[in-house]
Structure 1
Amino acid sequence: MLRNPRPGEQQPQPTAPVPAHAVRFATPVVTTPGIVIIAAWLGRLLATLALLPIRFPVASVAVVASVAIWWALGWPAVAVAVSVVDVALLVWWRRWPDSFRRFVALRALAAWRWVWVYRRHWQPVLVVAGLAESYQERRYLPRIRRVTCTAWSDRVRVTLVAGTAPADVEQRVAELAHGFGAPSCRVTVRGPRDVVLEFPRRDLLATPLAALDVAESAGEVDLSALPVGQQEDGQPWHLRLHGTHVLTIGVTGSGKGAVIWSAIRAMLPALTDGTAQVWAIDPKRMELSYGRPLFAAYADTGETALELLESAVAVMHERAARYAGTRRGHTPSVDDPFIVVVVDEVAFLTAYHPDRDVRRRAENALATLTSQGRSVGLAVLAALQDPRKEVLNLRNLFPDKIALRLDEASQVDMVLGEGARDRGANAHLIDPDLPGVAFVRMEGTPAPVRVRAAYVSDGDIDHMTATHTSAISATPDGSATDSATPGGSADAGDA
C-alpha cells in the first residue's frame, strides 16, 4: 500500500512483478524392450508365411512338392521332376500361347510386380504423395489387396483407410504414376473403401493406326458401335452415333479429322445401301470436301450451312409427328435413314460468323437437333478447337465427348466434365507427335478412356469415294432423291 509522500519526498515507484517462468512439459520416452520388437517381427513373418499359400498357391505347392520329393527320393528325383515340369510348360507355351500367358506368364509377372515394385515402394510413395493418415501417433496406409496384370497394365486393388474417400486418391494420380514409374494412373471405384489403381506398363497407342477395314455389308454395320480406333488396353474403340450426339474438341493438328473420317469409313456400307446418310458442313472447304461424293448433302458457307441445319430440323419434326403415338425409337431403313450431321469447325457457325442472325439461327438449330433429334434417328457429330462457353454454349447437349490434345489443363474439365482430370484424363499433356490420341467420356460412364483414332489418308478417301457413294441425296427442304451418279450429292443450297 502506497502512503502519501511528505513535503520534498519523492513518490516511490511500484516495482514490476517478476514474470513467472513458462512451464515446460516433456513427453516421457519409453524404450521398447528388444523382446517386444523381436516378437513383432516374428509375428509379421508368421503372418506372411501363413498367407503365402493364399497369395501364391502354385508356387507354394511347387515348393512343398519339391521338398516332399527330396525327402522321399533325394535330389536326383527333384531334378527329374523339375525337368518334366519345364518340358510341360514349354509345350504348353508353344501349343496354347494364349492360355499360357493368362494362367502362367501374367500371374508370375503379377507376383513379381507385387513384390518388387508395389510392396517395396508402397510406403514411401504414399507418404510423399500425402495419402498416409495419422491417428494417435500411428500412421495408417491404404492396403494392397491384390495385384493382377494384363498385357499392357498392372491393376492394383487397394483397401482405403477408413475415413478417406476415392477422391483423395484421384487427386494424387500424377504422384502415384511417377512414384511407381508408370506413364499414367487411373482410379476405378468398386465399392466402399475398395478401389483399383491401373498403371500402364507401356503405351499401346504410341504407334499410328492405319485405316480400319470396311465391313462387307450394311448388315455388319452397327451404328451404335462403329469401330474407329483402339483403346489403350488394346481393345477396339467403338464410337456410338445412333442414339446420341458426339462433340470432338482439340487444337489444330490434334486429329479431329481422324475421328470424323474413321466414323464415316465405318458407315460406308450403310451409306451405300441408303440406310444411313451423312450431311456435311465444312466451313474450311478442306477437310470434308475431299470426300464430297459420299455425302447426301454438303455445305461450305454460313448461309448454306444454316439451310442444311434447318433442313435437318424439318426432317426431325416430320418424323416426330409421324412417330407420335406409334413408336418410341428409330430403326434405320431406306425410307427413314439414320442421318449424321457432321459439322467441322462448329464455332464458325456459333461464334465467328459475321452475321449475328446466322449465328443465332444456327445455334437454335443445333440446340433443337441435339435436344430432340436422337430419338428419331438424327445425330450431330461436331468438332471445334476452343471449348469455352462463349464459343459453344451447347456442350452439355452432347452426351458423348472426345477430348483430343488441349491447350490448358482447365479445358479438360470443360470438355469431359468436372473431375475428369483428377481421374487421369490429362488431355493437355498429350504429345503433339501423337495425333488422334484422345480421352473419351461416354454417357453414363464417369471414367474417361484413353483412345487413338485410326488415320484415314487421302488415298483411303479416294478409294472410299471410288467404291462407295451415298445412295440418297437430300434437298434443302428435307426431302430425299436418289443419286444417279457417284457425284450426285448436292449442296444444301444448290436446289
Structure 2
Amino acid sequence: MFKRLPGDEARNLVTTTPDTAVVFRPAVVQTPAILTLIIFAWRVLTGCVRLLWRHPVAVLLALTPVVLTLVYGWRTALLLLAPAPTGMLAWALTDRHDFVRLIGLRVLAWWRLVWVYRRHWQSVMVVSGLGRHLWGRDYLPQLGKVTCTAWADLVTVRMLKGQSVKDWADRLDHLAQGFGAASCRVAVIRGGRLQLTFPRTDPLAVPLDALPLPDVPTVGPVEIGKQEDGRPWRLKVHGTHVLVAGATGAGKGSIIWSTIRALLPAVRADLVEIWALDPKLMELSYGRALFGERYAATPEECADLLDQAVTVMQERAARFAGVLRSHTPTVEDPFILVVVDEVAFLTAYQADRQLKQRISAALATLTTQGRAVGIGVMAALQDPRKEVMNIRNLFPDKIALRLDESEQVDMVLGDGARDRGALADHISPVPERGAGVGYVRLEASPDPVRVRAAYVSDTDIRDMAAAFAAGRDAA
C-alpha cells in the first residue's frame, strides 16, 4: 500500500485519521559513546594546535606564569615575572608614541582579530551573501591578517574562487554594520586578495586651521591639509590639472585658498603666477591684491584672460619644442596656475553662446596642452554632470567633496570610485564636521584617499593680501 522509503519503512508511518497528513518517523542512528568521545577529543586537540599555531606569543605569555608557579612556587614566579610588566609600564609612561606603535597596536590588532572579526566572521559572511552554504557545508572567504593603525583596522581577505571585487563593494554597508564600524572600504592587494578598511575613529572630524606659510618657495606638491591616516595632504599642482567638485558649502574655497597660501612664497619669488577667474565675485575677490592684473570677474574678462593664457602656452610650446620636454619654473618662465571658481557658470550657464564657446575651447586647450609648458588649471564646480562640464576627463587629478547624489561620485572620480569607498554623498552637511572633507583620486592611483583641507578664514586671506602687497612695495 505504501511505497518503501529510504531510512524508514511503511510500518513506521503514523496517522490518526484518514484526512490527517502522513507523519514520517525518521530513522535514528545511535553512535557509540566511545566514537563520540574520540571525535570530541580530536576536536579539542586540533583546536589547541590551531590556537598555538595562530597565537604562539599569547599562548606563551599565558603558560609561562603557570609553569613557573608549578615548578618554583608563586613567590619565585612573582619575582621572576615582575620586571617585565614593570618595564613595559615604564616604557609606556616615558615613550608613549613608540610603545603604542610597537606594542599597543599589535595587542589591539590581536584582540580585534579574536573578539570582533573571527568571532563574527561566519555569520557576517553568510548573512551578507559573501559566503555560501552548499550541500551542508559552509564556504567562506578566508580571514587573513588584521593590522591596526591609530584610526582604523586593516583586514586582509582571500576571496572565494569566482568572486569579484564588485561582490564585496556592493556589500560595504553589510560589512560595516556586521563588524560594528561606521563605514568600510575595499582595495585590491593582488589577485584574489583584498584589504578591508574599518575606521574606528574619524581623525578628520575636527576642522583644521590655516597652515603656516612655507619657509622655502615651492611649486609642489604643496601641503594643504591632512589625510585620514594622519599624514599631510600634499596636492600636486605643477604638471597636472585639478578638478574640485562639491555642493554648496562643501569647502571648495578651503582647497583653493590653501593651495594659494602654500604657493605664496613662490609667488613672491616670481616662480609662480596665479591667474584668477571669479565669475561669482565672492570667493577670490577677498585676495584680489594677490593676483594683480591677472584677475577676471565678468564673463568677457574671463574669456580674455583664458585666451591670454592660451597665447602664453603656445609661445612657450614654440620655444620649448625640441629643447625641453618638461617645465622647470624660472623667473623668465614661471609656473602659471589658472584658478577658476565655479567653472560651470562659464561653460554651461553662460547666456552668451559665443563667450561660452571661447571659454570652453580655451579651457580644453589648456588642459590638453598646458601641463608640459608649465600651465596648470584648478577648476571648481558644483554640478559634475557631463552636460555641465564636458571636459572633466581632461583633469588628471580629481577631488570630490560633499555631493548630493551617489551617482555624482563616479562622475567626478571615475567609474568604480564609490564602490572602492569614496562615499562623498555621505559626508556630513554640518560645516564643522564636513566642510573641506573629501576624497582624492590621483592620476597614478585608482584608490580614493579621504582628506580634509585646512580652513583659510577671511581674516587669513586679508592678512595674506596685506602682507603680500607690503612685500611688493618694499621690493
Identify whether the pair has TM-score above 0.5, normalized to the shorter chain: yes
1:60 equivalenced with 2:62 (yes/no):
no
Shift, 1:23, TM fit: 12
1:81 equivalenced with 2:80 (yes/no):
yes
Whether contact under 8 Å (1:371, 1:397) holds in the other structure is yes
Query: The residue matched to 2:57 in structure 1 has which SS?
Result: helix
321, 333, 338: which one aligns with 2:335:
338
Q: What is the distance in 1 between the residues matched to 2:37 and 2:256?
A: 66
Q: Sort the Cα spacing of 1:270 and 1:77 in 2 relative to 1 into closer, same or farther, 3 A.
A: same
Unpaired runs of 5+ in structure 2? 9-25
Q: What is the distance in 1 between the residues matched to 2:262 and 2:56?
A: 46
Higher mean displacement: 45-54 or 335-344? 45-54
| Structure 2 match to 1:255 | 251
Letter of the structure 2 residue corresponding to residue 236 of structure 1: P
Q: Sort the Cα spacing of 1:177 and 1:41 in 2 relative to 1 into closer, same or farther, 3 A.
A: farther
1:225 equivalenced with 2:209 (yes/no):
no
Higher mean displacement: 300-309 or 442-451? 442-451
Shift, 1:52, TM fit: 3.5
Q: What is the distance in 2 between the residues matched to 1:23 and 1:444?
A: 69
> Could you report, residue by residue, the CA deviation over 1:373-403 in whole angstroms, capped at 9, with x for unpaired residues?
1111111000000011111100100011111
Query: The residue matched to 1:405 in structure 2 has which SS?
Result: coil
| Structure 2 match to 1:426 | 423
384, 391, 399: which one aligns with 1:394:
391
TM-score with structure 2 setting the length: 0.90
| Structure 1 match to 2:173 | 174
Higher mean displacement: 356-365 or 46-55? 46-55
Shift, 1:81, TM fit: 3.0
> Could you report, residue by residue, the CA deviation over 1:22-50 in whole angstroms, capped at 9, with x for unpaired residues?
99999998869477776565545434432
Whether contact under 8 Å (1:230, 1:453) holds in the other structure is yes
| Structure 1 match to 2:465 | 465
| Structure 1 match to 2:155 | 156
Whether contact under 8 Å (1:188, 1:195) holds in the other structure is yes
Q: What is the distance in 2 between the residues matched to 1:346 and 1:373?
A: 18
TM-score with structure 1 setting the length: 0.86
Whether contact under 8 Å (1:271, 1:470) holds in the other structure is no
| Structure 1 match to 2:444 | 444
Q: What is the distance in 2 between the residues matched to 1:305 and 1:26?
A: 87
Letter of the structure 2 residue corresponding to residue 394 of structure 1: I
| Structure 2 match to 1:237 | 233
Task: Map residues 265-344 of structure 1 onto 2, 5 A cutoff.
Answer: 265-296=261-292, 297-344=294-341
1:374 equivalenced with 2:364 (yes/no):
no
Letter of the structure 2 residue corresponding to residue 310 of structure 1: D
Q: What is the distance in 1 between the residues matched to 2:295 and 2:38?
A: 80
Whether contact under 8 Å (1:231, 1:452) holds in the other structure is yes
Letter of the structure 1 residue corresponding to residue 237 of structure 2: L
Query: The residue matched to 2:127 in structure 1 has which SS?
Result: helix
Q: How many residues align?
A: 452
> Could you report, residue by residue, the CA deviation over 1:87-135 in whole angstroms, capped at 9, with x for unpaired residues?
1001111222222112211111111111111111111112111111244
Letter of the structure 1 residue corresponding to residue 329 of structure 2: P
Whether contact under 8 Å (1:282, 1:343) holds in the other structure is yes
Letter of the structure 2 residue corresponding to residue 165 of structure 1: S
Shift, 1:161, TM fit: 1.3
| Structure 1 match to 2:201 | 202
Fraction of identical pairs, as percent: 52
Q: What is the distance in 2 between the residues matched to 1:133 and 1:425?
A: 28
| Larger Rg belongs to | 1
1:105 equivalenced with 2:101 (yes/no):
no
Q: Sort the Cα spacing of 1:41 and 1:205 in 2 relative to 1 into closer, same or farther, 3 A.
A: farther
Q: What is the distance in 1 between the residues matched to 2:43 and 2:89?
A: 37
Q: What is the distance in 1 between the residues matched to 2:30 and 2:441?
A: 54
